[in-house]
Structure 1
Amino acid sequence: MLELQHIKKTYHVGTVETKALDDVSVAFREKEFVAILGPSGSGKTTCLNIIGGLDRYDSGDLIIKGKKTKDFKDSDWDAYRNNSVGFVFQSYNLITHLSVVANVELGMTLSGVSKAEKHKRALDVLEQVGLKDHLHKRPNQLSGGQMQRVAIARALANDPEILLCDEPTGALDTVTSVQIMDLIKKLSGERLVIMVTHNPQLAEEYADRIIRFQDGKIVSDSHPHQERPKPDSFKLRKTSMNFLTALNLSFNNIKTKKGRTFLTSFASSIGIIGIAVILSLSSGFRTTIDDFQRDAMAQFPVLITQNTAEMDLEQMRKEMGQRQNLDDDGYADSQEVYLKDPSSTIKQHTNVFSEEYLNYLSQIDPSVCSSVGLTRIVNMNLLRETEEGAVPVTFSSSSGGSESGGNAMMSGMESMGISSFPRQLQEEDSYLEQNYELLAGEYPDSPEDMVLVVGKDNTLDQTILKNLGFPIDGRESVKFADIVGTEFRIVSNDDYYVKTEYGFLPGEDYQAMYDSDRGITVRISGIVRISRDAGVGVLSAGVAYSDELTQKVIELQESSEIVKAQRDSDRNVMTQEELDADGKKQFLAYLGGDSTPYMIMMYPNSFESKDEVIAYLDAWNMGKDDGDMVVYTDMVETISNMTGSIMDGITVVLIAFAAISLVVSMIMICIIIYTSVLERTKEIGILRALGARKRDITHVFDAETFLLGLFSGVLGVVIAWLFTFPINVIIENMTGLAGVAHLQLLHAVLLVAVSTVLTMLGGHIPARIASKKDAVEALRSE
């Protein structure tokens, strides 16, 4: 076995010189003859000088092209083997999963030869050895002589200075041996050929110089050589293998083991399948929830009320920290009852709805906020003309008909709280038209037009119609036509209330009130219900009207006598009860003496534009003191965060369990690649003999793990995607939710990347082991 790198394991070392070549060194194990074949006519000048005859020599005794080998780096040996030496092995040492032409091109690939030039050279040398018609066959499709010709072509492809032949005819029959030796003899006319053989007849017939060994020692040398100093002329191209070449080698190897590769990839993909299915369900449920929220809460408003309350978390932590006898779960260990003031941990905040702030809200971009709703606390002195004359009615759903005084105020506040539909900011369909379908009549066309809101199944609390003056005794339903067009009269406070010595009281001459020209006539213009695609409606069942109507009522009432009297008194001018500041303000608003909204509702144009509405509201508070800020409530965000946190928690837990299989897969890949290293040991030796660096060997096996990881990831994602179809059928049959399992493209790409990276990490250790294998020992393996 000829070798150049592992000199310490050899028996005899020598230096060869010819007129055509500089100094080279070669080491060989025990062979009976070393035959030297030089260029034609140079036999007398070709010689081998033995610089030692003992059993072992240090590699520092070698000089190659004037450079001592003790100064060699690994890259120098790799470059020397690739550039200067061509190996022809007794057992051919071809890579079985590569074609003939690919085997020949391999050495040139390491030299950095271009693709076109590499292929041209390969064709030339294959034609030179008579194999032009067998370019794309695999080595196992060739005869022994043809495989040896491929080995010779591979050795010649890089145009080496020396051709080293180790028993080139040892595995061939006599006729084929003669053909191969004739070819080698022909090649010796252009380059130095060193052949090691046990056959003295071949040496005598073909060699220009013969060195005979016996028991590991030189017996004779036909042309001894006297050594002379030589200048250092060691300049070689460094070898390298790019990752694409490594991929090609590994891909061709994998193709020869399709069944095992598929099973390995499938086993490795189990973890990816689990995580992909979990992400499909998680993202699918999240999408379903988000779609529901968009449908159900797209028009759900951001609420701004005059008075808000929020928990003072800092104060709560402070109070908890003052008690030192609490365990980790917050339980007290004492014989005392601790007193606390709940109000100390609740911060009350009063929002000031100034004209400046209301103008600021009205200037919001209509493309992000479709409408604004204003709820004002104002009572409507409502009358209806019947066959018996004018009678008082109310929009309230409370039993007992009309109310007076404080009870009437509370009923009015209840009905007003969610009965005012918002004002549209853009010139388009109104809020009602966008979210409520018309069952009868028409949508409001003026501030005096109102609508009756019924449930999805057209139901309505009978008390509402009764309080509106409709006869319902013994009836199960009321025709739309009997309701649409019904008119009511909102009476002025000066007509409705009578001043007495005890205060103001509602009058009893309802017909005179109804006939007064100071009132406002309103009518029910249509009947509506929530649309099928609108989700949750914000209007309560019953009569709904616009804020414009409320403002007209306030204009009617704000200069009335009862309002003036209430402004000047700290008592309720109807009941004579003492009122605090807040109570007085509320009752004055109820009488129509205060136009300040009680609640403001900002309706985002879409679910996505809600964040822009929030940003607009936050911009008002920037730089202001806490007391001057306007605090809002975003219920949609609270609900979204709650559902999102739950889904995230479930997803993390499930992925953590599925990730265990990924770790198992990585360990399995490590074992598989180590097995591949053992199987491809000879290939490692061949690549090293051709000049491949250690890192190139690592690249080859890293490339194999890359392909396995990539294929495993793609296979896992595809299988998980296929699983989503039966999963969706099962979920739809069980819950009615359609298309829940949905694997997103981004998740699929990330999972393929994770599979590839983890597989490469698992296979890198055996890849490093492969790169450290001894080339000579690797070539001996079977």
Structure 2
Amino acid sequence: MLQLKNIKKSYTTGDFTQIALDNVSLNFRQNEFVAILGQSGSGKTTCLNIIGGLDQYDSGDLIINSKSTKKFEDSDWDAYRNNSVGFIFQSYNLIGHLSIIDNVEMGMTLSGVSSVEKYKKAMEVLDKVGLKDHMHKKPNQLSGGQMQRVAIARALANDPDIILADEPTGALDTSTSKQIMELIKEIADDKLVIMVTHNPELAEQYADRIVKFKDGQVIDDSNPYEDIKEETGYSIKKTSMSFTTALKLSGKNIATKKWRTALTAFASSIGLIGIALILSLSTGFKIQIDQFQRDALSEFPIIISQNTMDTDKESLEKMYGEHTNNVENNTKIRNSSKVYLYDSTENTITHKNIITEDYIRYINDMDPEILSSIGYTRMTGMNILREKDGEVLPVSLAIGLNMNNGNGQPMALGTGGLSSYPEPLDSSGISYLEKNYDLLAGEYPKDETDLVLVIDNQNRIDYSVLKNLGFDTDNIESIDFEDLVGTEFKLISNDNFYTKTEMNTFLPSSDYKEVYNSKDNIPLKLSGIVRLKEDMTFGIVGNGIAYSDKLVQRIIDLAKDSEIVKAQRDADHNVITMEKLDETAKTTFLAYIGGDSIPQMIYLYPSDFESKDAVLDKLDSYNRDKSKEDAIIYSDLANTMTEMTGGIMDGITIVLIAFAGISLIVSLIMIGIITYISVLERTKEIGILRALGARKKDITRVFNAETFIIGTFSGILGIGIAYLLTFPVNVVIENMTGLTNVAQLNPLHGLSLLGISVALTLLGGMLPARMAAKKDPVEALRTE
């Protein structure tokens, strides 16, 4: 197209092409070779300005088969340049980082031609111009004549209606110019070729028709063609560049700047490395805390006690499901600017849990998937005798639970000596002792009649425990394991142990040997010696003799019909001492002699830390059907620790990520600068792509693809470096704290950071990419 002021212009493709200049019409034949001769200066002609479209001129109009282009949009002009016109530029305008065949294929790529077909066509035109053997070379590896042949091949590849040649030999020597003109002449056999030149000799030698311009006016036309044949139904195929093509184009450009791209990606990845390491450490510490909390479940189970306790109304309401009614009101209060006064004594409720057989059955029916074990503390006494050297002696042990941390330090109720260990709900499951205690001698209990001796982490036990078991502890520092393992005892039934007097009281028998040999007694054996495992922080079983909960239940089953229990149920006094008893004291003593199966305390052990919430939901569900007086309040000692440690760790993680995130903002700005530099470097490429029919959105896509590649590479690089850094970080932490494998990069965190890296680079490159799309293609082509 000619850029001539105040001159009406139009083309019609098909069998003819028309240029209208004021009231003069220039029409062109389909297979004509036209040379446009123009003068230099303000009247200089160029065919390149067609790539900018004609709608920028008020008087301009392009007619395509009788279809006016007055209302053409940018996409219509892009499609027209791609399908209808092929450009042969004076300065070749090849894309330097693409191979010869990629340059030739570019126009077809924008037309949506399949890979197989465009490769075939590209090979055909390269063969036609004699460059088939150079298809994989880059433009800078060719001579000027060869590059012009590539430009001709590119112009022919998409089979356009018109070939526009702008000074095609202007940058060539005489010999090469002749070869190029012969080739263009050959092309004119079946296509309209319009060549702009200032060389009259060249025009006279090769052109079928010569049109001369001077000062914007046609002054001569050697072979005018007046007939105009109108056609209808003309349609233009829209151009499109896929994101894959954009990636390929940008990838090849990036490959020419490997070190700059690598340094850019590394600089962008620094923030990601910091965040990845923070998340790795946070994940690792959370795992360590979770492991600690799982161990703590052994020492801090969910506890249900019969004892009277003080609680507040909100906690109690939460347990039986009424707390949701006050949520809206509480929110209003929290958001207000007032201080509310209350009497704490009015808000405190003294509550005593009434544990029933029904409640115990409810607990026992819980799913073993969420509740692994249940432990009980019962005040049931044990009538134990031991035979030693032919003499039968009573065994005296304190009863009660004594939680400890493996160092022999008391952690809860009881004075030690005799305590029970929990039984798994699922009989096929591993026992509590096997999971948490190492066997030092003998074997783990197999039956309820097997006892174990629990010692601390220094193999110590209080001397009084062994003394009460009948062992000689005077002037002795230690006892061998084999001297303890296998020791036998007998648990004496109430009817054998207690004798009824004439005054209807009951006294323990004084003839221990006779009682020891009587029937209905239960033989017991010290089956093994255990110690809390080194990786366990806390243990529920106290140092001393540990027994199964099943053994206590067996004692209760035997004792409930004994004479002493029957007499005590009917009496209001102690049937041994004749002391007057109130209801509480009577219940306590009745439990001691085996007449009450209700435990004083219940200990629930969730299968894992995540199952704890499910257990609590089950306990709350029981309370929702009960009155306030019948509600069962529990204590979740681990919950306070969990919330505190979890909140602290989350807070630290957020703060550290916020600091590290500042570098991501810097990376975003840096990517914007790098992309802008790339836009400046590729300005001419932008013009070439637009000349070949690329849309504005395609140009945007090219630079978005470039930032996508950089962002992806940056993310992978950052995640990879962060992962490698976890190894030395773990070594340092282990040497300083003893904690192993703390830094652990979660794969989900890695994928998320990769997504963030890509998103930020796309965001950073968005503005430069839009700037690239808005560049004037004519001006872009003129850029060196």
| TM-score in same-fold range (> 0.5) | yes
Return the match for 1:677 from 676, 679, 682.
679
Are the structure 2 counterparts of residues 341 and 280 from structure 1 closer, same or farther at C-alpha, using a change threshold of 3 Å? Answer: closer
Deviates more, 1:522-531 or 1:415-424: 415-424
Partner of 2:545: 543
| Aligned counterparts of 1:416 and 1:626: Cα–Cα separation in 2 | 37
Deviates more, 1:594-603 or 1:665-674: 594-603
1:708 positional shift: 0.7
Partner of 2:319: none
Partner of 1:21: 15
Code of the residue aligned with 1:654 in structure 2: it is L
1:245 positional shift: 0.6
| Aligned counterparts of 2:673 and 2:603: Cα–Cα separation in 1 | 64
Are the structure 2 counterparts of residues 779 and 157 from structure 1 closer, same or farther at C-alpha, using a change threshold of 3 Å? Answer: same
* 1:687-706 to 2 correspondences below 5 Å: 687-706=689-708
Counterpart secondary structure, 1:218: strand
Are the structure 2 counterparts of residues 539 and 15 from structure 1 closer, same or farther at C-alpha, using a change threshold of 3 Å? Answer: closer
1:634 positional shift: 4.6
- Say whether the 8 Å CA contact 1:397–1:467 is kept in structure 2: no
| Aligned counterparts of 2:722 and 2:216: Cα–Cα separation in 1 | 65
* 1:438-517 to 2 correspondences below 5 Å: 438-491=439-492, 509=510, 511=512, 514=515, 517=518
* 1:753-768 to 2 correspondences below 5 Å: 753-768=755-770
Q: TM-score, normalised by structure 1?
A: 0.84
Partner of 2:165: 165
Are the structure 2 counterparts of residues 59 and 704 from structure 1 closer, same or farther at C-alpha, using a change threshold of 3 Å? Answer: farther
Partner of 2:355: 352
Code of the residue aligned with 1:107 in structure 2: it is G
1:271 positional shift: 1.0
Partner of 1:643: 645
1:122 positional shift: 0.7
Code of the residue aligned with 1:205 in structure 2: it is Q
1:260 positional shift: 0.8
Partner of 1:335: none
Deviation sequence 1:271-308 (CA, Å, 0-9, x none): 11111111111112222333444466479754443357
| Aligned counterparts of 1:170 and 1:26: Cα–Cα separation in 2 | 27
Identity fraction in percent: 53
Are the structure 2 counterparts of residues 220 and 442 from structure 1 closer, same or farther at C-alpha, using a change threshold of 3 Å? Answer: closer
Partner of 2:156: 156
Are the structure 2 counterparts of residues 430 and 668 from structure 1 closer, same or farther at C-alpha, using a change threshold of 3 Å? Answer: closer
Deviation sequence 1:354-413 (CA, Å, 0-9, x none): 2x4434444445565554433322122444456795554421299xxxxxxxxxxxx997
Q: TM-score, normalised by structure 2?
A: 0.84
| Aligned counterparts of 1:146 and 1:35: Cα–Cα separation in 2 | 33
Unaligned 5+ runs, structure 2: 46-55, 317-322, 401-411
Counterpart secondary structure, 1:596: coil
1:261 positional shift: 0.5
Partner of 1:658: 660
Are the structure 2 counterparts of residues 504 and 781 from structure 1 closer, same or farther at C-alpha, using a change threshold of 3 Å? Answer: farther
Code of the residue aligned with 1:669 in structure 2: it is I
| Aligned counterparts of 1:61 and 1:762: Cα–Cα separation in 2 | 40
Are the structure 2 counterparts of residues 670 and 418 from structure 1 closer, same or farther at C-alpha, using a change threshold of 3 Å? Answer: farther
| Aligned counterparts of 1:368 and 1:286: Cα–Cα separation in 2 | 22
Are the structure 2 counterparts of residues 312 and 424 from structure 1 closer, same or farther at C-alpha, using a change threshold of 3 Å? Answer: closer
- Say whether the 8 Å CA contact 2:371–2:605 is kept in structure 1: yes
Deviation sequence 1:192-223 (CA, Å, 0-9, x none): 11111111211222222222223333333334
Counterpart secondary structure, 1:738: coil
| Aligned counterparts of 1:331 and 1:466: Cα–Cα separation in 2 | 61
1:504 positional shift: 6.0
- Say whether the 8 Å CA contact 1:392–1:510 is kept in structure 2: no
Partner of 2:213: 213
Partner of 1:401: none
Are the structure 2 counterparts of residues 328 and 362 from structure 1 closer, same or farther at C-alpha, using a change threshold of 3 Å? Answer: closer
Are the structure 2 counterparts of residues 494 and 46 from structure 1 closer, same or farther at C-alpha, using a change threshold of 3 Å? Answer: closer
Are the structure 2 counterparts of residues 430 and 661 from structure 1 closer, same or farther at C-alpha, using a change threshold of 3 Å? Answer: closer
Counterpart secondary structure, 2:453: strand
Partner of 2:52: none
Are the structure 2 counterparts of residues 716 and 170 from structure 1 closer, same or farther at C-alpha, using a change threshold of 3 Å? Answer: same
- Say whether the 8 Å CA contact 1:496–1:513 is kept in structure 2: no
Code of the residue aligned with 2:540 in structure 1: it is V
* 1:467-616 to 2 correspondences below 5 Å: 467-491=468-492, 509=510, 511=512, 514=515, 517=518, 520-530=521-531, 532=533, 535=536, 536-559=538-561, 563-569=565-571, 581-605=583-607
- Say whether the 8 Å CA contact 1:505–1:574 is kept in structure 2: yes
- Say whether the 8 Å CA contact 2:5–2:216 is kept in structure 1: no
Q: In the alignment, does 2:275 pair up with 1:272?
A: no
- Say whether the 8 Å CA contact 2:730–2:741 is kept in structure 1: yes
* 1:31-180 to 2 correspondences below 5 Å: 58-180=58-180
Are the structure 2 counterparts of residues 530 and 351 from structure 1 closer, same or farther at C-alpha, using a change threshold of 3 Å? Answer: farther
Partner of 1:740: 742
Counterpart secondary structure, 2:172: coil
| Aligned counterparts of 1:231 and 1:298: Cα–Cα separation in 2 | 90
| Aligned counterparts of 1:441 and 1:503: Cα–Cα separation in 2 | 45
- Say whether the 8 Å CA contact 1:80–1:236 is kept in structure 2: yes
| Aligned counterparts of 2:87 and 2:33: Cα–Cα separation in 1 | 22
Q: CA RMSD in A?
A: 4.2
1:450 positional shift: 2.0
1:59 positional shift: 4.7
Are the structure 2 counterparts of residues 420 and 90 from structure 1 closer, same or farther at C-alpha, using a change threshold of 3 Å? Answer: closer
Partner of 1:713: 715
- Say whether the 8 Å CA contact 1:35–1:194 is kept in structure 2: no
| Aligned counterparts of 1:567 and 1:677: Cα–Cα separation in 2 | 97
Deviation sequence 1:557-616 (CA, Å, 0-9, x none): 444565445434555566777755444323321232211222333444555665665566
| Aligned counterparts of 2:156 and 2:743: Cα–Cα separation in 1 | 60
Code of the residue aligned with 1:451 in structure 2: it is V
Counterpart secondary structure, 1:203: helix
Deviation sequence 1:59-89 (CA, Å, 0-9, x none): 5443232122212111111111111100111
Are the structure 2 counterparts of residues 742 and 645 from structure 1 closer, same or farther at C-alpha, using a change threshold of 3 Å? Answer: same
- Say whether the 8 Å CA contact 1:239–1:693 is kept in structure 2: yes
Deviates more, 1:649-658 or 1:545-554: 545-554
- Say whether the 8 Å CA contact 1:90–1:167 is kept in structure 2: yes
Aligned residues: 744
Deviation sequence 1:705-730 (CA, Å, 0-9, x none): 11010011011111111111211111
Counterpart secondary structure, 1:71: coil
Are the structure 2 counterparts of residues 777 and 492 from structure 1 closer, same or farther at C-alpha, using a change threshold of 3 Å? Answer: same
Counterpart secondary structure, 2:87: strand
Deviates more, 1:461-470 or 1:769-778: 461-470
Return the match for 1:731 from 709, 730, 733.
733
Code of the residue aligned with 2:253 in structure 1: it is N
| Aligned counterparts of 1:47 and 1:236: Cα–Cα separation in 2 | 30
Deviation sequence 1:148-195 (CA, Å, 0-9, x none): 111111111111111111111111111111111111111111111111
Deviation sequence 1:523-582 (CA, Å, 0-9, x none): 442332135377243211111122333234334544456544543455556677775544
1:628 positional shift: 4.7
Code of the residue aligned with 2:155 in structure 1: it is A
Deviates more, 1:203-212 or 1:503-512: 503-512
Counterpart secondary structure, 1:176: helix
Deviates more, 1:714-723 or 1:206-215: 206-215
Counterpart secondary structure, 1:743: coil
Deviation sequence 1:641-688 (CA, Å, 0-9, x none): 443333222222211111111111111111111111111111111111
- Say whether the 8 Å CA contact 2:386–2:470 is kept in structure 1: yes
Are the structure 2 counterparts of residues 10 and 758 from structure 1 closer, same or farther at C-alpha, using a change threshold of 3 Å? Answer: farther
Are the structure 2 counterparts of residues 239 and 27 from structure 1 closer, same or farther at C-alpha, using a change threshold of 3 Å? Answer: farther
Deviates more, 1:57-66 or 1:261-270: 57-66
Partner of 1:261: 261
| Aligned counterparts of 1:203 and 1:619: Cα–Cα separation in 2 | 99
